[in-house]
Amino acid sequence: MDTKRAQRLLPGALGEALAAVACAPVFSDFQSAKLLGPGGVELTPSVSTVSASGEDGGHVQDEIGVQVGAGVVDRLDLRARYVHVEGVNAVGFGPKIGLVKDRLALAVPVGFAFGEDVEVGKTWAVHPTLLFTQPVVPRLEVNASVKGLIPLSRDGGDTLVAVNLGLALGNLERWAIRPEIGFLFNPGESGHFTHLGLGFTVLAGRKKPTGY
């Protein structure tokens, strides 16, 4: 994919700086709408591969990362994430707010990228994300999300939209395997990006939030 097309399609968490060395901002989630409760901690390493649609498509990049969550009060977690993408590093952090217990939550991470030849100031972005969770059986749930990737820099490019769909399998109060697929779009451009990934969550001290 040529750099100019990538810069039109792909500003966001990694912005134009990432487009010069890879092609897509990070848009995966690997989490549910559940809150951890006071004292709860969650650790999720993950790997993803990203591809582009269209004639210029095919494999774009591989990603490896880790995210950490900590419960503060019943309806509020704080989360941080680091992802390494083809020589560029992306960092995000922010709150996750419970809206409907164990079913619907809002995450508002703010992030930036850094690395060789990356202008950090152009990469700042916020990714407001609605997270949905539907239990199927005690060891299986379906998770979905929809998010905007909104640049905070005047030179950050367009606002993008992403949707993700994943599963959580395991003893969901202690650990979960998280396969996920997601799609990234620029509403003003044709084409999209697809990510396929796998995360593994370990939880400690989770207390089911009460009071909402």
CATH code, domain carrying 169? 2.40.160
Please check the confidence at residue 93 and state whether its pLDDT lies above 80.
Answer: yes
Give the range among 34-38, 90-94, 120-124 with minimum mean pLDDT.
Answer: 120-124
Does a structural domain hold residue 143? yes
Does a structural domain hold residue 171? yes
- Rounded mean pLDDT, 72-94: 94
- Rounded mean pLDDT, 54-62: 82
- Rounded mean pLDDT, 113-119: 85
**pLDDT in the model for residue 140:** 98
Please check the confidence at residue 84 and state whether its pLDDT lies above 90.
Answer: yes
**pLDDT in the model for residue 23:** 56
Range of the domain at 36: 3-204
Mind spelling out the 3-state secondary structure of the chain? Answer: CCHHHHHHHCCCCCHHHHHCCCCCCCCCCCCCCCCCCCCCEEEEEEEEEEEECCCCCEEEEEEEEEEEEEEEECCEEEEEEEEEECCEEEEEEEEEEEEECCCEEEECCEEEEEECCCCHHHCCEECCEEEEEEEEECCEEEEEEEEEEEECCCCCCCCEEEEEEEEEECCCCCEEEEEEEEEEECCCCCCEEEEEEEEEEEEECCCCCCCC
Number of domains in the chain: 1
Please check the confidence at residue 107 and state whether its pLDDT lies above 90.
Answer: yes
Does a structural domain hold residue 112? yes
Does a structural domain hold residue 25? yes
pLDDT in tens, 161-194: 999 999 999 999 999 999 999 999 988 788 899 9
Does a structural domain hold residue 210? no
171 CB-contact burial (10 Å; exposed 0-12 / middle 13-18 / buried 19+): exposed
Please check the confidence at residue 210 and state whether its pLDDT lies above 70.
Answer: no
